[in-house]
Structure 1
Amino acid sequence: MSGKNDRACMVCGVIRSFDEFAKNGCPNCESVLNYAGSEDIIQDCTSPSFEGIVALGEPGESWVGRWLRIESFQPGLYAVKVNGRLPEDIIEELESKGITYRPRDGSSTD
């Protein structure tokens, strides 16, 4: 993987191709963001610019999973850092559903 069409979810950091997001959505965020079939959401909520790749096989057993705060997510490939920010309306929608958005671009200090 890790081709020129790969993108990382700005919420969870999972890496997939644009087509995979369009066809199957995000394995962690689909119930909230509804990526599948929505090119606009994919453009707004994923980034083609990310750094580092971590393969996560057993998220609950991984210190890297805990470090990246992805220990409760599905196994897969994840970006260490995702460049970009979610649009304000998406952040507000997440917050209205009780989800705290922590940017994955390295700017979050908690």
Structure 2
Amino acid sequence: MPLRAEPRRTRPGGPSPTTRPFRQMLAGGVRISVRTTSNPGARVWVDRSLIEPKARNVLNQIDNTGRLRHQVFGNRRRWVNQRAPANWWSRRVQAGTPRMRAEIERVLGDVRRDLQ
């Protein structure tokens, strides 16, 4: 995701909304569900209950507003804002859906062949 920094402010930011590093927190919230019944498929999503309460809206905030506020190298007294194109994530997922679907179908076909 292309992010650009906003101009510096003279006053420091507020306290950290999370206790874990941001990427680690988001990665820990990613879940995968696979169905092998008569209607096989797979689903990937972010389980918001595994994201710290003050950071749960960050994915919508980045996608809708294009703004990400974060610490500078873990310094809890120094915060910056970065901007990204609005709807960046939604557009990427939409553009990649055919490829993701093809990969899932390929893997499910491999499993189906192995089971036969």
Give TM class, smaller chain. under 0.3
Structure in which a larger fraction of residues adopt strand: 2
* TM-score normalised by the chain length of structure 2: 0.22
Q: Larger % of helix: which?
A: 2
The normalised TM-score by structure 1 is 0.23
